[in-house]
Amino acid sequence: MMTNPPRVLYILVCGSPMARDVGTLVDIAQDDGWEVCVITTPDGRNFVDVNALQKQTGNPVRSWYKKPGEPDQLPPATAMIVAPATVNTINKWAAGITDTLVLGLLVEGYGFEIPTAVVPYTNNVMARHPVLHESLDKLSGWGVHVLYDDRRLGGPGQIDRFRAQFPWRRALQAVNSKVTVEPGSF
């Protein structure tokens, strides 16, 4: 009997206090049968408990490109979720900039046609910048599932206001709907 390769979810985490709760998404995804790998931006690493995430996933938490000649530490992604996604990462991603591992994976992910969802999270002042909306429209047009609700943003220094309502489950549902599963693979 032939077995299918595991579904591998890359959770790409940016520098936002909301990143403290990324373990919630890890739990939900693992309960749904995903192997999970967490990759953070360098700033995102400041907001997560790296040791706890490594223990939870069984994989290293990566934040930087590997050195030339080093083997890959993570299995290839089947799907990706960027959550929380900062204004900085969203705008650079839409411009094709790859100056962090997270951005490099996102740019490559488009080329590999990896189903991707993004959950932007910032404060309501930064969210007013027109380039953010242009970038989100661009990403959506490229097939990225954008989960953005500017009604659930607090002011500067108040971004915990909607912490309990962060759409971790909806983000997973978005990529689940794009990943085909072969019969008998679970």
For 8-65+74-176, CATH number out of 3.20.20.150, 3.40.50.1950, 2.60.40.730, 1.10.10.10 equals 3.40.50.1950
For 6-26, write each residue's pLDDT tens digit. Answer: 899 999 999 998 999 999 999
| Rg of the Cα atoms in the chain | 16
The domains of the chain are located at 8-65+74-176
Residue 164 confidence (pLDDT): 82
Answer whether 53's CB lies under 8 Å from 38's CB: yes
pTM higher than 0.85 for the full model? yes
Residue 61 confidence (pLDDT) above 60: yes
Residue with token string 């360098």: 42
For 73-105, write each residue's pLDDT tens digit. Answer: 999 999 999 999 999 999 999 999 999 999 999
d(CA 72, CA 60): 11
Residue with token string 């790409």: 12
Answer whether 100's CB lies under 8 Å from 106's CB: no
